[in-house]
Amino acid sequence: MGSAETERLPNSSFAVLGMLTFGEASGYDLVKLAERSLEFFWAPAKSQIYSELRRLVAAGLATEREVEQADRPDKRLYRITPAGERALRRWLEERPEHEPFKSEFLLKLFFGHQMSRERLLALVEGHRRDSQEALERLREIGAQIDGDPRFRSARLTLEYGIAHFRANVSWCDRALRTLKGGEG
């Protein structure tokens, strides 16, 4: 597959290729890996991972093999090919496109003057709670990957997420004080 063809692949294809660099895996394994690692900045549907795997195999960027299991249905295992590694590396080395920041929470907050004070406070409190939960989950993930050199770059994305959610919690605390009539 040439460079022009890989340029037409969506980012989700490259995310799946990237996950395959950790080793041979089933679609189910990749879904679980995405849930434990990528979900804070790339959250694919389960069906999307399976469709990307089919696309990558058809393009020669991944291989699949069927494995018999005694107590369960057979499963398919996927592995990145050398062509897949080259395509992933080309994609990784390209400058990312600017992605506009989108937040349903901020959109609703922007129009908060149309909400009751109670609902507006509940909106910010809910965002604070969600951010605190995400922060705790990221810290748990960090404890699991600490010291593993394979996750050095992943650790940087984890630290970014921790800083992001820590800032969200702090900002929510200030916003709640402001909305309740206190100092910001």
Does residue 6 lie within any of the structural domains? Answer: no
Does residue 2 lie within any of the structural domains? Answer: no
Does residue 33 lie within any of the structural domains? Answer: yes
- pTM score: 0.77
Q: Which range of residues forms the domain containing residue 168?
A: 104-181
Note the pLDDT of residue 5: 52
Note the pLDDT of residue 7: 58
Same domain? For 65 and 119 the reply is no
Whole-angstrom distance, CA of residue 133 vs CA of residue 155: 19
Whole-angstrom distance, CA of residue 29 vs CA of residue 22: 11
Same domain? For 37 and 68 the reply is yes
Name the domain boundary from 35, 61, 93: 93
Same domain? For 176 and 108 the reply is yes
Q: Lowest mean pLDDT: which of 123-127, 131-135, 138-142?
A: 138-142
Same domain? For 15 and 88 the reply is yes
Same domain? For 69 and 108 the reply is no
For 45-60, write each residue's pLDDT tens digit: 888 999 999 999 999 9
Strand partners of residue 54? none
Does residue 4 lie within any of the structural domains? Answer: no
Whole-angstrom distance, CA of residue 12 vs CA of residue 56: 11
How many domains is the chain partitioned into structurally?
A: 2
Most distant CA atoms of the chain, gap in Å: 65
Does residue 130 lie within any of the structural domains? Answer: yes
Does residue 76 lie within any of the structural domains? Answer: yes
Does residue 170 lie within any of the structural domains? Answer: yes
